[in-house]
Amino acid sequence: MKKMTARMVLLGLLLFAATSVKSDDQRETPGYAALVKLYEEFREFALPRMNDGIPDYSAPAMARQLNALPGYMKRLRDIDDSDWPVEQRVDYMVVLAEMRGLEFQHRVVEPWRRDPAFYSTTNLGFGPKMHGAFPAPEPPVRDAEEAAEIERRLRRVPAVLAQARDNLDDPRGDLARLAIMQKEIEENLFNRVARDADGQFPDLAEAARTAAGAVAEFSAWLRDIESDLPPHGGVGREEYDWFLRHVMLFPYDWDEIRHVGEREYQRSMAFLKMEQHRNRDADDIDVLSTLDEFMRRQNEADEDLLEFLSSEGILTVPDYLVPPGEGPYVLPADRDPERPGLFDEPISPHFFFQASFRDPRPLRAHNVPGHRFDNLLRQRDDRPIRGQQRLFFVDGIRVEGWAFYLEEMVLQTGFYDERPRTREINYILQAKRAARVKPELMMHANRWTYDEALESLVTRTPYWMEPGDAIAQFDIELYLRQPGYGMGYYLGKVELEKLLADVALAQGDDFDLGAFHDSFLAAGRVPISLIRWEMTGDDSEIKRMREIETELSR
């Protein structure tokens, strides 16, 4: 036990050092300071101009931004990083990827022209949205100061939606229908704020009703035009491949992803059926039905999980990574005040709650040492480029791949040895994640509509998913609106496992799983292909990804 403790302390020190590289040390390399300066300027440039708190996505404003982008790309191209240390050359590729991401927004996605749901004033859920969206207000309002802040935000809503109608000159049918559903929630939220503010905060109530009216008018306009719009909202297969390779720095194309995704779906289903046969005489898990029981089981799962990871030497667990004590995850649709609460009768949980109500452990592996630890590490990472939050989903496959990898990793390392039914839950979750690869691919190839993709996900998920499942609807919307998201869970896990295999083969008997995980995390939130380069010295994937030139970058 003393030997294990000493090793964990050493790994913790290595992890701390890797995520605390000082910018002054990095700037000693000739040219690196110019890269950092360029990156800081680019991140500011990538934001839309704000006019009285309202982002300007008008055609002239977007044209100005697009016309200025080649200048930033030329400045990057003029920086010679060929003699830099690998970790700084990785930073160069991160900057290049984010610049290409902005190019892709202008050249292909153009959400300000094509996607009515982009104008989400209330920041509902994940996915691309306008800059300056604010958190959905949650009544009751506490005091006059909070009322004034919410009122200020609500008074901008009519102007945002008026601009949206001017900007949306190429909307797509699927995206318009998704926006209509989104705006129904916003309208209900604003009307709820108005009702709650009546009497005590009359100015807020008036602003909320005006905002609700503007949302209703915008929705009515979308309903009038949506049947005549082009049905598909994907980016197209060729552009999808370009985005994956040159923005997300991901080495597979559409065809390869489809083959791997189908094989992983088959593997998950086969392992599920083997596990069910093995457990055919095991007791079923009691399904919880109250918030108190939900919180008790979740907190217990978090404590067990972190103790397991630490005691088994699987991962360095720092003192600040503790059970968060958070409540149930709230989907955008769940913020609709007209919908019943999660534990209101009759209880009808969506797919992920079906899993969590039986045993929260698989999804807590995804969320606590996965997303939560990732976020805590990034907040402590003071490197001038690595430590920033990535733009344009550059790190999306890395982030979701790591979180999903953890679900099976804890199964294979013994966390569920005394919980046979939980192993079944794990494979059900795997099958669902694999089942959503194909819908994303087919939507972005413009072969399937949203409804066709939704039907595929629902029918191929083996348990707990009905046609109206909120998670299924949320997933398919997100994967249509953000290329690379849905497939990133499974394909990111595949890439991480590939990296593990390469490192293990090179190190032989000296390979240590905990050290591998710590080194992976210490690289930061950058694409796995860049982490591979840093951990193994193999830059063959990066060379191919860097070669591309576009009209903007020449």
Would residue 444 count as lying in a domain? yes
Do 377 and 493 share a structural domain? yes
Do 219 and 262 share a structural domain? no
Whole-angstrom Cα Rg for the chain: 24
Do 204 and 276 share a structural domain? no
Query: What is the per-residue pLDDT for 345?
Result: 86
Find the Cα–Cα–Cα–Cα dihedral 187, 330, 119, 106, rounded to 10°.
Answer: -170
Residue span of the structural domain in which 146 resides: 116-228
Query: What is the per-residue pLDDT for 347?
Result: 85
Would residue 110 count as lying in a domain? no
Do 261 and 208 share a structural domain? no
Would residue 537 count as lying in a domain? no
Query: What is the per-residue pLDDT for 85?
Result: 97
Do 263 and 150 share a structural domain? no
Do 517 and 474 share a structural domain? yes
Is pTM, for the whole model, over 0.85? yes
Query: What is the per-residue pLDDT for 24?
Result: 46
Determine the Cα–Cα distance for residues 133 and 119; give it in Å rounded to an integer. Answer: 8
In 40-151 the beta strands, taken as DSSP E runs, fall at 50-51, 54-55
Place of tokens 């380069």: 533
Would residue 233 count as lying in a domain? no
Query: What is the per-residue pLDDT for 7?
Result: 47
Q: In the chain, which stretches have pLDDT less than 70?
A: 1-28, 548-554
Amino acid sitting at position 414:
G
Do 261 and 220 share a structural domain? no
Cis peptide before 527 (omega within 30 of 0): no
Place of tokens 């309002």: 141
- Burial code of 45-60, b = ≥16 C-beta within 10 A, e = fewer? ebebeeeeebbbbbee
- Widest distance between CA atoms in the chain: 72
Would residue 81 count as lying in a domain? no
Q: Which of 6, 96, 18 is nearest to 535 (CA)?
A: 18
Do 262 and 215 share a structural domain? no
The Cα-based distances of 135 to 2, 150, 171, 186 in angstroms read 48, 10, 25, 11
Q: Which of 20, 234, 2 is nearest to 115 (CA)?
A: 234
Place of tokens 């009702």: 195
The Cα-based distances of 512 to 44, 500, 509, 517 in angstroms read 41, 10, 8, 9
Give me the number of domains the chain comprises: 2
Do 363 and 221 share a structural domain? no
Q: Please state at what angle helix 420-435 crosses helix 450-460, rounded to 10 degrees.
A: 160
Would residue 240 count as lying in a domain? no
Query: What is the per-residue pLDDT for 549?
Result: 60
Do 242 and 104 form a contact (C-beta atoms < 8 A)?
Answer: yes
Do 468 and 381 form a contact (C-beta atoms < 8 A)?
Answer: no
Residues 148-184: pLDDT tens digits? 999 999 999 999 999 999 999 999 999 999 999 999 9
Do 273 and 140 share a structural domain? no
In this structure, the chain runs to a length of 554
Which pairing describes strands 54-55 and 50-51: parallel, antiparallel, or unpaired? antiparallel
Query: What is the per-residue pLDDT for 21?
Result: 41
Would residue 2 count as lying in a domain? no
Residues 203-227: pLDDT tens digits? 999 999 999 999 999 999 999 999 9
Do 193 and 309 share a structural domain? no
Q: Which of 183, 179, 187, 56 is nearest to 117 (CA)?
A: 179
Residues 57, 61, 66: CA angle, nearest 5 degrees: 105
